[in-house]
Amino acid sequence: MRAISLFRKTSQQESGFYALFLTNRLQMLHYMIVMPTVLVQPYMLWVIVVVGILSQFCLYILSKWFASPYPAQGCQGFEKLFGKTGIKILALVSLPFLMLKISFISVSYADIMQHFVFPSMDREWHIVFPIILSCYLALFGMENMVRFVTIVIIGMIWILFLYIPFFLLPSNSIHDLYPLVPIGPEPFAWKSLLLVFSSLSGPEYLIAISYWLSPQRKMLKYLTIANAISVGEYLFISIASLLFYGSNYLPTIKYPSVEMGRYLQSPIFERVDIILISAYMFSIIYLLALFALMVYGASRLLGKAKKGTSRLGLIVSGCAMVTCTLSISKWFWEPGIEQTFWLELQMWAGSSSYLLLPLLVWFAMKRKARTTS
Amino acid sequence: MTAISLEALEQSLALMEDAEIINRQTPDGLHFTFIYIGTIIDQERLNESIMEPLVRSFQSSVEKSLITAKITRLFNLEQALQDLLKGSVLVHDSSSGRWNAILLPNSLSRSIETSETETIMFGPKDSFSEQLEQNILLIRRRLPLTALKTERYTVGSLTQTTVVLMYIDGLINPEFVDYAKNKLSSIDFDMFLDSSHVAAFIEDHYHSIFPQYLQTDRPDSCAHSLGIGKLVIFVNNTPFALVAPITLFHLFQSPEDYINRWLVASFLRPLRYLSFLLSITLIPFYVALTTHHYQMLPLQILYVIIESRSKLPLSPFWEAFIILITLEIIKEASLRMPTKTSQNLGVIGGIVIGQAAVEAGFASKVLIVLAGISAISTFLVPNYLVTKSSLLLQFMFLIFASYLGIPGILLGLVGMLAHLNGLTSLNQPYLAPVSPFYWRDWVDLFVRGPLHAMSIRPDALRPLNKYRVSRRRK
């Protein structure tokens, strides 16, 4: 296998926009899969706003990392901060998190695809094809991957506009969005809080690719804009589904944002949801490719990092992804208890990584600053 | 190096029917030998400007007799033969024993004509020809600058083709020039008969179906490219110059964009992108819908398609495949035939065969209509090479659509975009200014903004002089 430079960096381009787009895509990854099933009452919309503010706190800490000199040094920066053993431990811990995220996204998406588009086709094929394509995309290297996010944004931005007609229905009433304050003693929905927080998670993975994002001091601005857009998008879709289904009917639907697509009509097409689900593949493939490179990078850190990168190494990482995802899909993804288990596991894993990883990096920087002074 | 001598030259030119060796004597008794290849030199000028003045002269040397001619002194046989084959006349002065070369190439060329491949309604009509010097002149007329630099290279062990690299010094990013120079210097092949042959050796990804150099025969287009910080490569004996670095989006731009009103141009440009997308996905979309996603069609359209397909013995994929192949055969045939015949062929192919196919039950009416739209859509793209590339893409999407339906088309689109994202032209990203993202360049991307808004040269080209307006020049 010819040695290729998957992790090289050639240009010093201003990359605030990439951070903005990446943060937004990472945060919007789950919108079709889980949202807004948990936010069934109008007053729960506040959960999105509150969690958005909490997410902003995580992004603020993340921006401290970007403003530090470490990200620009790449792997050496991490080495200085955590030491060689520390990096290996971090890589080892991050692998299960990455694999879980990859598997959860892939199987959930394949589930949607099978349910809405190709009921006759095995779910496993819907897992294999996107992962193969994501490996192809990843083969162009991290630098190309990072900038590809602009195309993903262009490929998906229009989806949001499809939900506008749901706000214009004659049957809509502002009263459908009441009560905005819970009436009487409602049980505090920890789970919905956690689920929304895990849905907004993902920007913590920017730490791993910060070297290619040409860190800068203005990063907080871009991260804040991205977070605000993501919160806005979640609110937009949640309000649309609340208006369309009503708070009584909404909890009975598994994929409300996808189902809504079924009701869209145009003079040329019905069942617009098929196009909508297919277009969602842009995000899925892109983020799978990004995670594939991260899995390969983490496994290199655990093994012989000094050796050059190779296509074979990335393909092996892709195979590991396929194996892990197919195993979960084949044997551990029965509707009901098992599916809920994976959702809860991802919810906890996503939330904890989003909260703890920026904090860990921040503490490490503080400790380093103290020891050097 | 071999020493130059009359015997060695005679030996080299043996069996060359058009090689001439003529001896002349002056009134003073000096002997001159003229050696040349009659077919490639201007014989009239040789007689009038070289032979007659030299033979009638009373001067003692060639240099003194021909004060207006550009004379090159020769020292070895290799140099003499090279000059001879480029259209020089070798003159041997017997008194001094010197060998001289006087360049007298035959300026046989077609006149400056209108471009046939990039036709426009308004704007400059001239186009390049096969003569290199004439092509350079057309650019120099438009850009009378001392900063407009030209560097010559010779490529091809058999063809000895002259290649000229042209750029505006102090404006273009020197990285591009160095990269192009390295590429041109490292070419090792025997024949270069067209600029596309040179492009094949200097492009970064020769397996890709997308061209990484823009081939144009329009001087105004080349001048514009030079002015915004690109370089142009001219190849002798071909009217098409190569422009680089380019992006995918440059292939959708027409010189007419900058002649039309900006609002009109801004309407037409997205139409080209849409046409390209239609040309590669319209038929696959039909196949995906009729094979996998009938439920996506409104009832009225579904009736039409079912009625149209009810007696067809073929599956939508094979139906589309056969029609597309037939269409390509007709298109290729009309290209190779004389103009008048090709017009008839277009009518026969398009109407008669299409109608017959429908009546015979080989194709549905809907598919014929879609195939027609798809075929016409390809012609909206100004670049011929992209038009040809779209053909292969269409078949690729057709296969994806037949097996995976609409998700298959989307898979293909992502794959194509991933491929494009990895491409480079002159080592610069092929999808700039989208990826990498240069937001300022979007003023001339999907729309064509007013010229007043284009006061800055494209960021993606990283020119040394960013500003196009003098008051902001630093």
CATH (domain of A236):
1.20.1740.10
Residue B1 confidence class, pLDDT cut points 50, 70, 90: confident
**Min Cα–Cα distance to chain A from B204, Å:** 14
Nearest-by-CA chain B residue for A149: B435
Asked if the Cβ–Cβ distance from A278 to B406 is below 8 Å, we say yes
B341 versus B370: the higher-pLDDT residue is B370
- A7 belongs to a structural domain: no
Nearest to B410 among A140, A144, A281 (CB): A281
Q: What 3-state DSSP class applies to A3? A: strand
- Return d(Cα B81, Cα B74) in angstroms, integer: 10
pLDDT for B66? 75
- Return d(Cα B333, Cα B322) in angstroms, integer: 16
Q: Are B91 and B102 spatial neighbours (Cβ–Cβ below 8 Å)?
A: yes
A153 versus B94: the higher-pLDDT residue is A153
Interface of chain B toward chain A, CB-CB under 8 angstroms = 292-293, 295-298, 301, 404-407, 409-411, 413-415, 417-418, 421-422, 429, 431, 434-437, 439
The structure tokens listed for A46 are 């506040």
- Return d(Cα B440, Cα B437) in angstroms, integer: 9
Q: What 3-state DSSP class applies to A2? A: coil
Query: Using alpha carbons only, what angle is made at residue B337 by residues B334 and B341, rounded to the nearest 5 degrees?
Result: 85
Asked if the Cβ–Cβ distance from B431 to A274 is below 8 Å, we say no
- A203 belongs to a structural domain: yes
User: Which residues of chain A make contact with B411, given a CB cutoff of 8 A?
Assistant: 129-130, 133, 281
Helical H segments across chain A, by residue range? 16-27, 45-67, 75-116, 123-138, 142-161, 190-199, 219-245, 256-262, 272-302, 311-331, 337-372
Q: Are B110 and B94 spatial neighbours (Cβ–Cβ below 8 Å)?
A: no
- Return d(Cα B235, Cα B246) in angstroms, integer: 18
Query: For strand B231-235 and strand B214-216, is the pairing parallel, antiparallel, or unpaired?
Result: unpaired
- A10 belongs to a structural domain: no
Nearest to B411 among A17, A150, A281 (CB): A281
Asked if the Cβ–Cβ distance from A282 to B296 is below 8 Å, we say no
- Return d(Cα A62, Cα A358) in angstroms, integer: 5
Q: Are B344 and B264 spatial neighbours (Cβ–Cβ below 8 Å)?
A: no
User: Which residues of chain B make contact with A277, given a CB cutoff of 8 A?
Assistant: 407
Residues of chain A with pLDDT under 70: 1-4, 12-14, 35-37, 184-189, 215-217, 304-306
Asked if the Cβ–Cβ distance from B404 to A17 is below 8 Å, we say no
**Min Cα–Cα distance to chain A from B281, Å:** 14
- Return d(Cα A111, Cα A130) in angstroms, integer: 13
- Return d(Cα A247, Cα A241) in angstroms, integer: 9
The order of strands in the sheet holding B98-103 is B19-25, B31-37, B88-93, B98-103, B71-74
Nearest to A150 among B293, B415, B435 (CB): B435
- A9 belongs to a structural domain: no
For an interface test with A, the pick among B410, B424, B442 (most A C-beta atoms closer than 10 Å) comes out as B410
pLDDT for B232? 96
Nearest-by-CA chain B residue for A119: B292
- Return d(Cα A74, Cα A268) in angstroms, integer: 50
Sign for the pseudo-dihedral over CA of B366, B369, B375, B376: negative
Region B3-30 average pLDDT: 86
pLDDT for B331? 82
**Min Cα–Cα distance to chain B from A13, Å:** 8
The count of domains in chain A is: 1
User: Which residues of chain B make contact with A136, given a CB cutoff of 8 A?
Assistant: 415, 418
Nearest to B296 among A144, A149, A269 (CB): A269
User: Which residues of chain A make contact with B417, given a CB cutoff of 8 A?
Assistant: 148, 151, 155
Structural domain boundaries, residue A228: 16-364
| Residues 6 or more apart in contact with residue A327 via CB below 8 angstroms | none
Identity of the amino acid at B400? F
Nearest to A275 among B406, B418, B435 (CB): B406
B236 versus A307: the higher-pLDDT residue is B236
Region B364-377 average pLDDT: 90
- Return d(Cα B316, Cα B305) in angstroms, integer: 11
- A372 belongs to a structural domain: no
Nearest-by-CA chain A residue for B429: A144
- A172 belongs to a structural domain: yes
**Min Cα–Cα distance to chain A from B291, Å:** 12
Residue B474 confidence class, pLDDT cut points 50, 70, 90: very low
- Return d(Cα A293, Cα A313) in angstroms, integer: 10
Whether ipTM tops 0.90, in short, is: yes
Residue B403 confidence class, pLDDT cut points 50, 70, 90: very high
The structure tokens listed for B179 are 């990269």
Q: Are A146 and A22 spatial neighbours (Cβ–Cβ below 8 Å)?
A: yes
Checking B454-457 for CB contacts under 8 A at 24+ apart, the result is: B457/B171, B457/B228, B457/B229
Query: Using alpha carbons only, what angle is made at residue A348 by residues A347 and A350, rounded to the nearest 5 degrees?
Result: 65
Instruction: Give yes or no for residue B360 having a pLDDT over 90.
Output: no
- A4 belongs to a structural domain: no
User: Which residues of chain B make contact with A263, given a CB cutoff of 8 A?
Assistant: none
Q: Are A5 and A309 spatial neighbours (Cβ–Cβ below 8 Å)?
A: yes
Percent of chain B having pLDDT more than 90? 49
- Return d(Cα A153, Cα A19) in angstroms, integer: 12
- Return d(Cα B292, Cα B400) in angstroms, integer: 12
First to last CA, chain A: 47
The structure tokens listed for B219 are 């001087």
Query: For strand B428-429 and strand B424-425, is the pairing parallel, antiparallel, or unpaired?
Result: antiparallel
Nearest to A136 among B407, B410, B415 (CB): B415
Question: Is the peptide bond prior to B463 cis by the omega test (within 30 degrees of 0)?
Answer: no
User: Which residues of chain B make contact with A282, given a CB cutoff of 8 A?
Assistant: 410, 414
Q: What 3-state DSSP class applies to A134? A: helix
- Return d(Cα B184, Cα B231) in angstroms, integer: 13
What torsion, rounded to 10 degrees, do the Cα atoms B382, B383, B386, B390 define? 30
Q: How far is CA B99 from CA A89, A188, B71, B83, B126, in A?
A: 79, 102, 10, 12, 41
Instruction: Give yes or no for residue B341 having a pLDDT over 80.
Output: no
Q: Are B260 and B121 spatial neighbours (Cβ–Cβ below 8 Å)?
A: no
B205 versus B67: the higher-pLDDT residue is B205
| Residues 6 or more apart in contact with residue B262 via CB below 8 angstroms | B448, B449, B450, B451
Identity of the amino acid at B279? S
Nearest-by-CA chain A residue for B432: A147
- Return d(Cα B256, Cα B124) in angstroms, integer: 10
According to DSSP, residue A240 is labeled H
- Return d(Cα A66, Cα A76) in angstroms, integer: 15
- Largest interatomic CA distance in chain B: 102
Count of Cβ atoms closer than 10 Å to residue B278 Cβ: 19
Q: Are A275 and A152 spatial neighbours (Cβ–Cβ below 8 Å)?
A: no
Q: What HEC string does chain B produce? A: CCECCHHHHHHHCCCCCCEEEEEEECCCCCEEEEEEECCCECHHHHHHHHHHHHHHCCCCCHHHHCCCCCEEEECEHHHHHHHHHCCEEEEEECCCCEEEEEECECCCCCCCCECCCCCCCCCCCECCCCCHHHHHHHHHHHCCCCCEEEEEEEECCCCCEEEEEEEECCCCCHHHHHHHHHHHHCCCCCCCCCHHHHHHHHCCCCCCCCCCCEEECCHHHHHHHHHCCCEEEEECCCCCEEEECCCHHHHHCCHHHHCCCHHHHHHHHHHHHHHHHHHHHHHHHHHHHHHCCHHHCCHHHHHHHHHHHCCCCCCHHHHHHHHHHHHHHHHHHHHHCCHHHHHHHHHHHHHHHHHHHHHHCCCCHHHHHHHHHHHHHHCCCCCHHHHHHHHHHHHHHHHHHHHHHHHHHHHHHHHHHHHHHHCEECCEECECCCECCCHHHHHECCCECCHHHCCECCHHHCCCCCECCHHHCC
| Residues 6 or more apart in contact with residue B316 via CB below 8 angstroms | B286, B287, B290, B291, B309, B402
Nearest to A140 among B295, B405, B421 (CB): B421
Asked if the Cβ–Cβ distance from B437 to A269 is below 8 Å, we say no
Query: Using alpha carbons only, what angle is made at residue A174 by residues A170 and A176, rounded to the nearest 5 degrees?
Result: 90
Q: What 3-state DSSP class applies to A310? A: strand
Query: What values do phi and psi take at B204, rounded to 5?
Result: -80, -30
Q: Are B212 and B203 spatial neighbours (Cβ–Cβ below 8 Å)?
A: yes
Residue B342 confidence class, pLDDT cut points 50, 70, 90: low
Of B29, B91, B101, residue with least CA distance to B60:
B29
**Min Cα–Cα distance to chain B from A174, Å:** 32
Nearest-by-CA chain A residue for B434: A150
- A370 belongs to a structural domain: no
pLDDT for B340? 65
Nearest to A113 among B407, B421, B439 (CB): B407
User: Which residues of chain B make contact with A117, given a CB cutoff of 8 A?
Assistant: 293, 405-407
**Packed helices B384-422 and B365-378: angle between N→C axes, nearest 10 degrees:** 80
| Residues 6 or more apart in contact with residue B137 via CB below 8 angstroms | none
The structure tokens listed for B257 are 């964009």
